[in-house]
Amino acid sequence: MEAAKEPHSVSLKVLRLLTLPPTFGSAYVGETFSCSLCANNELPHASDRRIFDVKMTAEMQTPTQTIPLDLTTAGTAKDKPQLDVGESLQRIVRFDLQLEGTHVLAVSVTYTETTSHDEDHPKSRDRTFRKLYQFIAAPCLSVRTKVSQLPLHEHRDPKHAQMKPVSFVLEAQLENMADGSITLENVAFSPKPSLSSASINWDVSWSDMQKMNCPFLMPRDITQVAFLIKQLSDEKQLKSQVETTKDGRMILGQLTIRWRTAMGDPGFLTTGWLTTRKRP
């Protein structure tokens, strides 16, 4: 059994100090990156400085763009104008990891600091600081696909020979690339409108009880799935233009995979458009 994974946590100390843990743990494409942000007032109790109006913002820099993040409050606690010694401002950020590669979590904190040497004329000034944390989103699942066209049966009527619907078998190998185990919940194929698909996997004749027997993959375990893809036999569909790529390959559809980690966290992955070269 895997050990429980510690939640990600970032401790933000005021007075321009920003402390981050050495690692956030593993981050995988298809899963949700969750992080708690805490701005703590760690001034000495005897300090004459006061902290007001603490605000926190964050953004995620992915390999292709920078995305502002929505921060939610932790629990039902309400923010106060003043952050007293020993108190903290907490926020939670969640971000769906969709791309492999380097990600940067950028956190900014602004606050107003006042000194009370002279109670009648306290001095205040606005402060701000920013910290970057870099991590890599690695693939959780490796997907390798193969498409095979099934042989056409001969048609006695040559006028309709070109309108004979074609069929394909899509095979996919799914390998668990993560450090922990995962359970596959669903693997589905979404075909283009001129096609239909049928699963020939473990979920073909599922009952409610059988849903408990989803494939369980330890690290580097591999399972194989397959789908039967058919061109619709409707005459209008057969005459319609089949979607192709610039190099003439037929576009079939996309594969969607859902899983859960050992701790129950959901994962989701959609492949790019799968294509094949149709035989004459």
Task: Report pLDDT for 16.
Answer: 42
Residues 60, 106: Cα–Cα separation, whole Å: 6
Six token digits for residue 82: 């003043």
3-state helix, strand, coil in the chain (%, to 5): 5, 55, 40
- 125-183 pLDDT tens trace: 888 888 888 889 999 999 999 999 988 765 445 555 555 678 899 999 999 999 999 99
- If pLDDT is split at 50, 70 and 90, which confidence band does 25 have? low
Q: What pTM does this model have? A: 0.73
For residue 55, the SS3 value is strand
Q: Is the dihedral of CA 197, 198, 202, 204 positive or negative?
A: positive
Task: Report pLDDT for 145.
Answer: 95
Task: Report pLDDT for 24.
Answer: 63
Residues 121, 129: Cα–Cα separation, whole Å: 26
Backbone angles phi, psi at 161, to 5 degrees: -65, -35
Six token digits for residue 37: 């942000």
Average of per-residue pLDDT across 246-254? 90
Average pLDDT of every residue of the chain: 80
Residues 210, 55: Cα–Cα separation, whole Å: 50
Q: Would you give the distance in Å from CA 162 to the centre of its chain? A: 43
